[in-house]
Structure 1
Amino acid sequence: MHSISAFARRVGLTPSALRFYDDCGVLAPARVDPLTGYRYYSDDQVERAVHLRRLRTAGVPLADVTAVLDGSPDRAREVLAAHAARLRSESDAAHAALGALLRDLPPRGPVRARVGGPELASAVRQVVPAAARGGEFPELRCVLVELADTQVRLIATDRYRLAVRELRPLAVDGGPAELLVPADALVTAAAWATRKPEVTIEPGCLNAGGETHALPVAGGTFPAYRDMLRGLDAPVHRVLTGRVALRDALAACASPAVLDIGADELVLGEVTLPAVCSGPVRVAFDPAVLGAALEAGVGPDVLLEIAAPDRPVVVRSADQGSFTTLVMPVALP
């Protein structure tokens, strides 16, 4: 038997917490001295106490703690999965609120973000194809460039595809800031930056070693892409296949391109590609839109995360977690 102090040290709880859990009926001592009222705990209670500490560290309410500790394994999984989903939702909401507050604060001064020139050029090549080529919304013909303490982010969308690329800056002064840059002007600036080891992004220009290149900033309001990302449904199907092979098959495919996905293969027209899939699903795309997303990717493999055949599909690469594309499917024929 262990005294309450010794037991508390062993399981990582405080004596006051053990008294509280005893009063709540969650973890009663093995024996209570009838004369002194001292609580004593046994070795058999160590595992329960450690599980209790971990659950409380994760913020699981006491009402759910007992269901995990005393219920069936299936019930425990259900409770923990619901709590994890609740934490993600609360975290996303807090992150969004803090981000909005930070963006509304006045800048700390002239904003400057220093990044590698070739890295910036690579990001531009990946993101710009997702910008609109025409249409009634001039903001969609631009790339949103976000400058913050920990990252530089480039975002473009034509409403059918959304591309997001993140860069880790070498240094940031001032900010945060958002620059809406016409896509064509950004491509020209990227061609200039690719020959510079480092460039500094400022409102109106790129700077490298005293040389500058114009970076015009447009007016208007870019779509609330963060709301789109937060509103994504959890993927039901994940499909891992060869990026280049799928791209080439799409290039030879008529529209719409229907992907019939099974347990270990992906069928596109007359082409069958090996794939690792979490379940059968059938989804259709404009081959030019999905093909452009694959062309912008990096590495030999591509991961498609599918929530439903009529919901945006996330296109990701195992070799570059800083680049994400959303592609909107089309109606199945």
Structure 2
Amino acid sequence: MRSIGEMARDSGLGVSALRFYDRAGVLVPAWVDPVSGYRWYEPEQFEEARVLARLRRAGMPLADIRLLLASWSGADTDLVRKLLKAHLRHLEQGLSGARSEFSALRAVLDHRENVMTSLRVATVRLSIAAPELAAALDTVRFAASTDPELPMLGGVLFDVEGQSLHVVATDRYRMAVAQAGAAGHDGSRVQVIVPASVVDAMRALSDGEGSVRLCIDGGRVTLEAGDRQAAGQCLDHDFPDYRRLLPAVGGRRALVEVAAFRKALETGPVRAGEAGEPDLSVLRVEDSGTVAVCADSDDDPNRVAVNREFLLDALTAGARDRLFLELGAPTAPIAIRRPDDEGTFSLLMPVRPED
């Protein structure tokens, strides 16, 4: 018989997915240990698990998957073929409908005023304390995207308003926001996306005391430190309105000792990712106010699964011995905040435990 771990490794379904499909009555293990609750599968169930994995990737509804698997090993495969044909037809109809809706949305966008244009054309000159800018860039740089399909996320947003500079980066799965005081600009809001390579050059120039001078002139950005400068063209894209993504302070908040928590993440239980997927840590805020790295149990509604590497990066970027972790619902973003600076934080999207 195959253990649930072996089935997960060889079938393309994660351990949590196998547990979910057991509870749903789709792929029930041949035997469950009455003491440990550990699941075991017959060798013949491996093919069904591989079929289930393919159907899952194809987005087939659970009811149809259940019916198809019930007919899979029978002599009459007519129902299986009909279910596959019906689902493919449904996908094609959905794709056709999605194309129509996207065409309509593009038409709306073509006729809208691009409000971001006015945020890019102004000329801005700022003076910023070099340590503040360096700390802000260090806080957000890790969250910038490297996906060539999303070039607008491949840099850091510089958002200037009044006497403050906000820098923001996101790759969809995480977002980091930091702020620095700025002098010399009292005008309207200005936003530009600075490419990651230019951001890195700016960070190198900010590694010192005193002030640096930031100039945004249309589509070009320049940072000067003494007689040295880093400059480049801004990305000609629109950045998402990050303010709409910001959660309210709240949820289950816990103050963690970063060194001890990092060790717990690195040595504690982990849900190993499938091929190409990240390893996950499952977190829970205890009644005592501490955060536990717990096993991937079935019966804890307060657990939150998160990409372990992303969380470790966020702890490093937080640059404090202690940080607040805010955990809400299992599907709500996890916030990592500094106790002394609520305006500087990271957000991590959770991973649903049954995914």
Q: Does 1:132 align with 2:145?
A: yes
Q: 1:296 aligns to what? A: 317
TM-score by length of 1: 0.60
CA gap of 1:119–1:312, structure 2 versus 1, over 3 A, is same
Cα contact 1:107–1:175 (8 A) shared by 2: no
CA gap of 1:109–1:241, structure 2 versus 1, over 3 A, is closer
Q: Secondary structure at the match of 1:316?
A: strand
Q: Distance in 2 between matches of 1:106 and 1:156?
A: 18
Deviation at 1:218, TM superposition (A): 1.1
Q: 1:66 aligns to what? A: none
Cα contact 1:262–1:281 (8 A) shared by 2: no
Q: Distance in 2 between matches of 1:326 and 1:108?
A: 30
Equivalence map 1:267-278=2 (5 Å): 267-269=292-294
Q: Distance in 1 between matches of 2:148 and 2:138?
A: 21
Per mean C-alpha deviation after superposition, the further-off stretch among 200-209 and 170-179 is 170-179
Deviation at 1:183, TM superposition (A): 1.5
Q: 1:141 aligns with which of 129, 145, 154?
A: 154
Q: CA-atom RMSD, angstroms?
A: 2.8
Q: 1:71 aligns to what? A: none
Equivalence map 1:1-333=2 (5 Å): 110-172=123-185, 174-195=187-208, 197-203=210-216, 204-229=221-246, 232=247, 235-253=250-268, 254=270, 255-264=279-288, 265-269=290-294, 281-332=302-353
**Greater relative contact order: 1 or 2 (C-alpha under 8 angstroms, separation 6 or more)?**
2
Cα contact 2:122–2:190 (8 A) shared by 1: no
Q: Distance in 2 between matches of 1:240 and 1:286?
A: 20
Structure 2: segments with no counterpart, 5+ residues? 1-114, 271-278, 296-300
Q: Distance in 2 between matches of 1:131 and 1:248?
A: 25
Deviation at 1:108, TM superposition (A): 9.9
Q: Distance in 1 between matches of 2:249 and 2:138?
A: 29
**Rg comparison, structure with higher value:** 1
CA deviations over 1:80-137 (Å, ceiling 9, x no partner)? xxxxxxxxxxxxxxxxxxxxxx978678962111101122112111101011122410
Cα contact 1:111–1:173 (8 A) shared by 2: no
Deviation at 1:234, TM superposition (A): 6.5
CA gap of 1:133–1:205, structure 2 versus 1, over 3 A, is same
Q: Distance in 1 between matches of 2:283 and 2:142?
A: 23
Q: Secondary structure at the match of 2:147?
A: coil
- Count of matched residue pairs: 223
Deviation at 1:239, TM superposition (A): 1.9
Q: 1:69 aligns to what? A: none
Cα contact 2:198–2:230 (8 A) shared by 1: no
Q: 2:106 aligns to what? A: none
Query: Share of identical aligned residues, percent?
Result: 30
